[in-house]
């Protein structure tokens, strides 16, 4: 739930597979695209996604331990096995104390030792719970909140360290709304039956957690209502995720003294003192002032005993997955089963690998890169990025709706993009992190505390531009507006995105569309508000700004009309940036593909033209399906449209797609040229 500065290809990063060793495929009959995988009972112009992916989806039902599944979620399983090997061999290596190998190995050992975990029960976290019980004043409450925030357990509200939106050279603290137990504010208010059920389930879950902690049923029930009551008030004061898309809406820089005046019941010197943050030389950003004003009121209106109940639940919920089985299963039952429709918990080893990846991922990344990253892939990706950047420049210069002065600024921004591919030049230094064999949950807490401290310590220091926001084993990519950089971890450079043996059409439609997507984030509804230096600074003329908004609104309306569930449609405003990035990204990838020799040669493969193969390459990266609850969660909280609409909602705006497949007025997806979106 933490605000991320990085605009991702997917919302939830996950780890990936080996991409190095594809030798087994190097046979003469190797086909980078198998034409028999197409569902020829569907007309490409009626449902392009179905035409490309129906057969894949039928052959790949969603596994019981997942809420959604897709072609590149599959990469996950291979890679988890690979990381498991790294962890296991580290645990047997008898490594010297203090080395990454020792830490990684001990993390694994404690995570897999279910006997010790069962025996310990909640003993390891008992001191933290006692600490909450000892709260006697509102200053104590602020101090305890800070202690939890140092462990990234964001009860009451959140904080976040990042570059100042208006001065990207300065790293500052932002104060954020947060502290809700349900995934988003809308979960507290939507009136439909499913949402009412989720609220009932949430209260039952909180009650169960207190009973596991030893409370009697009546007390547990009362505690659950107390928490729901507090969170309802916090949710009401929370900004919607759509409003938060406007950078100016969440930028309110002020001194701590002014923040203190705004919220007199919250003692910030106690809070920041306990958080142990460096001095705030230039102030802080209070992202949602209205939320903090409400919190200020709740500090007085909610009794301290109720706050203790609230903090206890959030601390235990945050650590449940690393405690004994009863807590693990209670956490799974609500967060995975009830909220996302997942039937079965993942095997223990997978959960531990994922936790290790989350906690100490860069310590695993070094080994991953050695085993899985091919210099060949990097070279090809470098070339493609260069070509796609060139194509973006061509497109910008050709735009018939943009003035020359705005074009000049856009080109300036494009030329100053930083590109990172593969893995960081400098690996994270974990030497100050203590990991041992005493308790799994404490290893997790210590790792998260280490990460939090690492971030807090950045305040007031120069920006480290070599840092990565993702591990190399993550199948994802991002754009960071403050650094104006696009980043592609090693793990995304594998099929279905990238295949060294495939024709350019498939690679430009795959990884090319991903590269184009990240570049276009620098020019989507949010990214275009940042300049070449990464500062929030309007470089558009007012007329061009108006024209962009009009064009973007076509995309909003288009996606608002897609309704994956009876009761719920895509939120065109929430998903606007991603939809623009998909559309712009595919457009410039195509433009770059047109410059290749292969495109010019026009050779048909298996009866499919190069133009068609480009769109097939794009369509198949989103092969996949959702459980109903997972779809609901995605539509309410995720800025990405579900895969089916990422494909159909994108190609339907592209004249090149109509030409490639000969789509005419009678096709179900047909949009008249004047109704199509046209931006980049």
Strand partners of residue 536? 530
Comparison of 327 and 645: residue with beta carbon closer to Zn ion: 645
Give all strands (DSSP E) within 312-406, no chain letters. none
Residues with Cβ within 8 Å of residue 487, at least 6 apart in sequence: 6, 419, 420, 421, 468, 469, 470, 477, 478, 479, 480, 518
Give, in order, the Cα–Cα distances in Å from 478 to each of 118, 485, 519, 591, 634.
39, 8, 9, 21, 19
> Is residue 226 a contact partner of residue 309, using CB atoms and an 8 Å limit?
yes
Give the nearest distance from C-beta 578 to Zn ion in angstroms. Answer: 5
Over the window 155 to 184, marking each residue x when it contacts Zn ion by CB under 5 A and - when it does not, the resulting string is: ------------------------------
- Ranges of H-type helices in 509-609: 513-521, 542-560, 576-593, 597-601
Q: How many residues sit close enough to Zn ion to count as binding (CB under 5 A)?
A: 2
Phi, psi of 7 (to 5 degrees): -100, 110
Give the nearest distance from C-beta 581 to Zn ion in angstroms. Answer: 5
DSSP state of 642: P
Q: What crossing angle do the helices spanning 542-560 and 576-593 adopt, rounded to 10°? A: 100
> Is residue 405 a contact partner of residue 541, using CB atoms and an 8 Å limit?
yes
Give the nearest distance from C-beta 20 to Zn ion in angstroms. Answer: 26
Give the nearest distance from C-beta 145 to Zn ion in angstroms. Answer: 32
Comparison of 2 and 261: residue with beta carbon closer to Zn ion: 2
Comparison of 140 and 578: residue with beta carbon closer to Zn ion: 578
- Hey, which residues between 334 and 363 contact Zn ion (CB under 5 A)? none
Give the nearest distance from C-beta 334 to Zn ion in angstroms. Answer: 29
Over the window 9 to 48, marking each residue x when it contacts Zn ion by CB under 5 A and - when it does not, the resulting string is: ----------------------------------------
User: Distance between CA atoms of 551 and 21, rounded to whole angstroms?
Assistant: 44
Give the nearest distance from C-beta 513 to Zn ion in angstroms. Answer: 11
How many CB atoms are closer than 10 A to CB 105?
Answer: 23
Comparison of 17 and 581: residue with beta carbon closer to Zn ion: 581
Give the nearest distance from C-beta 635 to Zn ion in angstroms. Answer: 17
- Hey, which residues between 560 and 589 contact Zn ion (CB under 5 A)? 578, 581
Give the nearest distance from C-beta 374 to Zn ion in angstroms. Answer: 25
Nearest Cα to Cα of residue 342 among 65, 73, 63 = 65
H/E run at residue 106: helix 100-112
Strand partners of residue 174? 160, 285
Over the window 521 to 560, marking each residue x when it contacts Zn ion by CB under 5 A and - when it does not, the resulting string is: ----------------------------------------
User: Distance between CA atoms of 213 and 649, rounded to whole angstroms?
Assistant: 48
Comparison of 101 and 575: residue with beta carbon closer to Zn ion: 575
Strands 485-489 and 478-480, sheet pairing: antiparallel
Comparison of 309 and 581: residue with beta carbon closer to Zn ion: 581
Over the window 396 to 435, marking each residue x when it contacts Zn ion by CB under 5 A and - when it does not, the resulting string is: ----------------------------------------
Burial class (CB in 10 A: 0-12, 13-18, 19+), 530: buried
Comparison of 142 and 581: residue with beta carbon closer to Zn ion: 581
Q: Which two tokens stand for residue 355?
A: 């936790």
> Is residue 8 a contact partner of residue 476, using CB atoms and an 8 Å limit?
yes
User: Distance between CA atoms of 559 and 575, rounded to whole angstroms?
Assistant: 8
Comparison of 7 and 315: residue with beta carbon closer to Zn ion: 7
Give the nearest distance from C-beta 228 to Zn ion in angstroms. Answer: 34
Give the nearest distance from C-beta 660 to Zn ion in angstroms. Answer: 24
Q: Which two tokens stand for residue 676?
A: 């199509």
Strand partners of residue 284? 254
Residues with Cβ within 8 Å of residue 280, at least 6 apart in sequence: 172, 173, 255, 256, 272, 459, 460
Strand partners of residue 605? 608
Comparison of 10 and 117: residue with beta carbon closer to Zn ion: 10
Give the nearest distance from C-beta 99 to Zn ion in angstroms. Answer: 37
The residue whose two tokens read 């920041």 is 272
Comparison of 10 and 146: residue with beta carbon closer to Zn ion: 10
Q: Which two tokens stand for residue 217?
A: 């049923």
Give the nearest distance from C-beta 492 to Zn ion in angstroms. Answer: 12
Comparison of 474 and 612: residue with beta carbon closer to Zn ion: 474
Comparison of 100 and 520: residue with beta carbon closer to Zn ion: 520
SS3 488: strand
Give the nearest distance from C-beta 621 to Zn ion in angstroms. Answer: 13
Q: What crossing angle do the helices spanning 643-651 and 576-593 adopt, rounded to 10°? A: 60
Comparison of 319 and 638: residue with beta carbon closer to Zn ion: 638
> Is residue 229 a contact partner of residue 221, using CB atoms and an 8 Å limit?
no
Give the nearest distance from C-beta 420 to Zn ion in angstroms. Answer: 16
- Hey, which residues between 609 and 628 contact Zn ion (CB under 5 A)? none
- Hey, which residues between 262 and 291 contact Zn ion (CB under 5 A)? none
Nearest Cα to Cα of residue 141 among 306, 326, 375 = 306
Give the nearest distance from C-beta 212 to Zn ion in angstroms. Answer: 39
**Helix/strand/coil (H, E, C) string of 238-281?**
CCCCCHHHCHHHHCCEECHHHHHHHCCCCCHHHHHHHHCCCCCC
Burial class (CB in 10 A: 0-12, 13-18, 19+), 170: middle
Give the nearest distance from C-beta 358 to Zn ion in angstroms. Answer: 21
Comparison of 163 and 641: residue with beta carbon closer to Zn ion: 641
Comparison of 317 and 578: residue with beta carbon closer to Zn ion: 578
> Is residue 647 a contact partner of residue 622, using CB atoms and an 8 Å limit?
yes
Comparison of 357 and 578: residue with beta carbon closer to Zn ion: 578
Site residues for Zn ion per CB under 5 A: 578, 581
């Amino acid at each position: 739930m933490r605000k991320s500065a990085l605009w991702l290809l997917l919302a939830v990063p996950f780890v990936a597979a080996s991409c190095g060793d594809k030798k087994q495929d190097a046979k003469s009959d190797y086909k980078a695209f198998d034409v028999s995988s197409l569902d020829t009972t569907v007309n490409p112009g009626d449902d392009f996604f179905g035409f490309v992916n129906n057969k894949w989806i039928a052959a790949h039902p969603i596994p019981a331990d997942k809420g959604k599944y897709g072609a590149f979620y599959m990469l996950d399983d291979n890679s988890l096995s690979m990381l498991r090997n790294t962890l296991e061999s580290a645990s047997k290596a008898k490594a010297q104390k203090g080395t990454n190998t020792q830490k990684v190995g001990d993390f694994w050992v404690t995570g897999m030792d279910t006997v010790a975990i069962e025996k310990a029960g909640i003993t390891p976290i008992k001191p933290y719970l006692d600490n909450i019980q000892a709260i006697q004043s509102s200053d104590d409450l602020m101090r305890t909140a800070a202690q939890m925030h140092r462990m990234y357990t964001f009860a009451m509200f959140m904080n976040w360290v990042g570059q100042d939106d208006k001065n990207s050279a300065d790293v500052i603290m932002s104060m954020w709304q947060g502290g809700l137990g349900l995934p988003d504010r809308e979960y507290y208010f939507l009136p439909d039956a499913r949402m009412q059920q989720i609220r009932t389930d949430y209260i039952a879950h909180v009650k169960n957690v207190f009973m596991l902690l030893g409370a009697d049923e009546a007390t547990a029930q009362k505690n659950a209502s107390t928490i729901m009551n507090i969170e309802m008030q916090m949710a009401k004061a929370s900004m919607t995720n759509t409003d938060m898309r406007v950078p100016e809406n969440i930028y309110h820089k002020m001194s701590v003294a002014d923040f203190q005046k705004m919220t007199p019941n919250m003692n910030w010197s106690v809070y920041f003192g306990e958080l142990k943050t460096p001095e705030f030389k230039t102030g802080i950003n209070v992202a949602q002032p209205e939320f903090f004003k409400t919190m200020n009121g709740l500090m007085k209106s909610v009794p301290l005993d109720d706050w203790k109940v609230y903090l206890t639940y959030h601390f235990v919920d945050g650590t449940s997955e690393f405690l004994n089985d009863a807590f693990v299963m209670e956490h799974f039952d609500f967060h995975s089963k009830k909220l996302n429709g997942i039937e079965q918990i993942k095997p223990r080893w997978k959960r531990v690998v994922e936790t290790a990846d989350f906690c100490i991922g860069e310590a695993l990344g070094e080994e991953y890169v050695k085993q899985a990253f091919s210099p060949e892939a990097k070279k090809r990706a470098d070339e493609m990025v260069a070509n796609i950047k060139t194509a973006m420049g061509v497109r910008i210069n050709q735009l018939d709706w943009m003035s020359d002065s705005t074009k000049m600024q856009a080109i300036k921004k494009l030329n100053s993009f930083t590109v990172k591919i593969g893995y960081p030049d400098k690996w994270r230094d974990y030497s100050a992190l203590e990991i041992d064999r005493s308790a799994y949950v404490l290893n997790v807490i210590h790792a998260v505390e280490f990460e939090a401290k690492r971030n807090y310590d950045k305040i007031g220091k120069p920006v480290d531009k070599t840092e990565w926001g993702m591990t190399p084993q993550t199948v994802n990519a991002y754009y960071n507006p403050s650094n104006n950089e696009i980043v592609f971890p090693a793990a995304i450079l594998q099929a279905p995105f990238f295949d060294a043996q495939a024709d350019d059409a498939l690679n430009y439609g795959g990884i090319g569309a991903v590269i184009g997507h990240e570049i276009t984030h620098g020019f989507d509804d949010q990214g275009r508000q940042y300049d070449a230096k990464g500062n929030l600074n309007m470089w558009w003329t007012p007329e061009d700004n108006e024209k962009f908004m009009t064009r973007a609104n076509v995309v909003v309306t288009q996606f608002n009309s897609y309704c994956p569930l009876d009761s719920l449609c895509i939120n065109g405003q929430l998903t606007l940036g991603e939809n623009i990035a998909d559309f712009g990204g595919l457009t410039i990838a195509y433009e770059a593909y047109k410059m290749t020799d292969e495109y010019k040669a026009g050779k048909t493969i298996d009866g499919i033209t190069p133009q068609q193969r480009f769109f097939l390459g794009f369509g198949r990266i989103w092969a996949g399906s959702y459980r109903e609850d997972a779809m609901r969660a995605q539509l309410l909280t995720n800025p990405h449209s579900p895969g089916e609409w990422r494909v159909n909602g994108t190609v339907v705006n592209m004249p090149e797609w109509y030409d490639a497949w000969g789509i005419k007025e009678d096709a179900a997806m047909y949009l008249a040229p004047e109704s199509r979106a046209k931006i980049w």
